[in-house]
Amino acid sequence: MNRFLLLAGAALVTFAGALPADARDLWTPAQAKTWYGKQPWMVGANYNNRGAINQFEMWQPETFNPQQIDQELGWAEDMGMNVMRVYLHNMLWENDAAGLKQRMDQFLQIADKHHIRILFVLFDSCWDPNPVAGPQRPPIPGVHNSGWMQSPGAARLADASQYDKLEGYVKDVVGTFANDKRVLGWDVWNEPNNGGGGNYPATPNKTALVAGLLGQVFDWARSVDPVQPLTSGVWIGEHWDKAETLDAVERIQLSQSDINSFHDYNWPEQFETRAKQVLSYGRPVFCTEYMARGNGSTFDGSLPLGKQYKIAMFNWGFVDGKSQTRMPWDSWKKPYTYEEPTIWFHDVLRADGTPYRKAETDLIKRLTAEANGPRRR
């Protein structure tokens, strides 16, 4: 990962802290703890419905599927889940702002019916850097997450003259739902310093471009005074509690998040180490991605630690579908077209709602009931 921007970090954090006059302030650790103390222990997944290969198929009117979403969130409710992390895309808003917000409201109605709150993700640096709206390509056979799209795409990220559209997207979407209790929070940028992944071409100067934009995204979101917390999760590195090891992007993430968040796809020992590093900032913590069975990250290993430290837990993947995230990351190099992987990498349920591994869904149900009491439908 490119880490050449360490020296620019302090200046970028100063810039990110220059908020508009009408913006709410960054929550203090005490304010964040007060908010968090009123929440149940939050457990859920990174969610897109099984019929959607990416954000476009989930949200565009031709492929938005409320019946499928209702069914799947019902399955989540039955196992004790009470939150979901869900991705948006700036192009969805640019092409159909009113329609996107209407479908977001419909989605929130369905989620609320199942007592599930939503952490929306505004931007994402992972996978395809050249997003295209409209009909989406079919999945690449045997390949993990083969249709996911970066937001903003490489061309938009490099074109500062178009940033006003990104600003409009953030302010309109966050502002529309700024007082909506069905919305848990706003994850302003997923893995912002991720190079992209897959077999896609690298975006030139991506880390520098993101570092120059991320602080503005926090500012835009705060300027509409949301009652929900803002966050952006760190995901690489060994010492998140040591400022001298952070790159410019991570400095902004950890200085501008109301609730800190992180990703971990490793053995439970590493999960606990990383959790303690993020907790050292004195703020509540979300783990917004975990659970990659073949990499040593499992429900059995990580979820009890999340309960112990009262960290909100969002595993990757819920129902097996067009995203094909049951396939491991290495499927980009060797697609699983001859046979299935030995074990599923991500995802909890098969397409018909039956558990991939019943012991996992039993564990989720038991731990959430211990923390929050049994669910009543």
> How confident is the model over 277-291, as a mean pLDDT?
98
> For the sheet containing 117-124, what is the strand order?
230-231, 183-190, 117-124, 83-87, 43-46, 312-316, 285-289, 260-263
pLDDT digits (tens, 9 = 90+) for 327-370: 999 999 999 999 999 999 999 999 999 999 999 999 999 999 99
Q: Report d(CA 377, CA 374) in Å as an integer.
A: 10
pLDDT of residue 19: 45
pLDDT of 81 reads 98
The pLDDT of residue 4 = 27
β-strand partners of 118: 84, 183
Instruction: Check whether 9 has a pLDDT greater than 60.
Output: no
Average pLDDT over residues 54-80: 98
pLDDT of residue 22: 65
The tens digit of pLDDT for each residue in 339-351 reads 999 999 999 999 9
Mean pLDDT of 53-81: 98
pLDDT tens for residues 201-256? 999 999 999 999 999 999 999 999 999 999 999 999 889 999 999 999 999 999 99
**To the nearest 5 percent, what fractions of the chain are helix, strand and coil?**
40, 15, 45
- Which structure tokens are listed for 74? 């019902």
Calculated CA dihedral for residues 85, 30, 34, 9, nearest 10 degrees:
-10
Per-position DSSP letters for 105-173, written without gaps between them: HHHHHHHHHTT-EEEEEEEE-SSBSS---SSPPPPPTT-TTTT-B-BS-HHHHH-GGGHHHHHHHHHHH
